Amino acid sequence: MESWEFGRMVRRWRDRVAPETVGVPAGRRRRASGLRREELAGLAGISTDYLTRLEQGRATAPSAQVVGALARALRLSDTERDLLYRLAGHTAPGPDVVPSRVAPSVQRLLDRLANTPVAVYDATWTLVTANAPYDALMGETSTWHGIERNAIWRNLVGLSNRTVHTAEEQADHEARLVADLRLTASKYPADRALRRLIGELSDQCRRFTDLWESDDPAPLPDPSRRKVIDHPVVGRITLDCDPLIVALDDLRIMVYTAEPGTEDADRLALAIVLGTQTLVD
C-alpha cells in the first residue's frame, strides 16, 4: 500500500467536503474547511484514532470494506474511488464482484430521506450504510464490523434484534434471506468475499447449512409491509417497511415509515429524537 499517498488523498478529499452536504451541522466555530477527522470517521464507521493513523501513513492495511466506506463518506466519483482502492492495494470492484457502491444519484435520494430510518444493503445482505434515524430506531450500527454487518448472520445466530417476529415469521424471513443469497452466489460466482461469507455462515450456523442445501422452494416474498419494532424506550412501534431495489448497483434500500397522525408516528418521532440526541452527545 502507498500509505503516505493514501493518507494524503484522504486528507485532501476530506477538506473539500462541505459538512452540510453530508448532513453534518457546520456550527459557528468551525476552523476546518471541510469535514473534521472525527466527523469523517463517524460517517465511515471507523474510529477517529484509526483514521488518524491512516491519514498519517501509520496504518498500512485498510480492508476493502474500510476503503469503500471512506469512498462513500467522501462522496468520491467512480474514478476517485478506484484510485483509493489501488492506493490501498486492492483491486477496484468490477462486474464480477458484488457491488457496494452508492451512486451519487442514490446518495441524493438518501439525503432526501435524512429524517427517515433508512438502511442500505448489498446483494449479500451486508449493511453498506445506515442513517442516524435508523440507528436511533434499530440500535447503533457503526460498531458492527466484518460478518456482524451481515443481516443473514445476525438473524441466524440469534443476536438481539428489535424486529418482532413470530417463530413462523422468523423462519420464513431466514429462508427468504438465504434464498436471495443463493441467487446472488449464482450471479457473482467469482466473488471471493462472497465465497468466504458463505463459508463462514456454514461453519457458524447449522440452520444456514440446512437452508442452503434445502430443495424446498423459497418462500414467496413477504406480502406484508408491516413491521413491529420493540424500541427499548418508547415501546412497540408498527411501521411500514418498504424495500427499494437499485437494480444497476444491486442494492436493497429498506425504508421505515409510519402513517402520519398515528400513535406509531409519534413514537417513531420520539425514538428518532431520543436516539439522535444520544448519538450526537
CATH number, domain with residue 34:
1.10.260.40
Q: Domain check: are 220 and 132 in the same one?
A: yes
- Supply the pLDDT for residue 218: 66
Q: Domain check: are 149 and 64 in the same one?
A: no
Cα 84 to Cα 67: distance, rounded to the nearest angstrom: 7
By three-state DSSP, how is residue 126 classified? strand
Q: What are phi and psi of 150, to 5 degrees?
A: -90, 125
Of 241, 234, 239, nearest to 272 (Cα)? 234
Cα 124 to Cα 3: distance, rounded to the nearest angstrom: 30
Query: In which domain, by residue range, is 60 found?
Result: 3-87
- Supply the pLDDT for residue 181: 95
Q: pLDDT digits over 56-115, tens only?
A: 988 888 988 899 889 988 999 889 999 999 999 888 887 788 998 888 889 889 989 999
Q: Domain check: are 112 and 82 in the same one?
A: no
Of 44, 42, 98, 53, nearest to 252 (Cα)? 98
Please give the helix or strand (H or E) that residue 128 lies within, else none: strand 127-130
Of 161, 149, 117, 141, nearest to 271 (Cα)? 117
pTM of the model: 0.81
Q: Which residues of the chain have pLDDT under 50?
A: 280-281
- Supply the pLDDT for residue 222: 67
Q: Domain check: are 176 and 269 in the same one?
A: yes
Task: Give the number of domains in the chain.
Answer: 2
Q: Domain check: are 71 and 137 in the same one?
A: no
Q: Domain check: are 63 and 114 in the same one?
A: no
Q: Domain check: are 126 and 227 in the same one?
A: yes
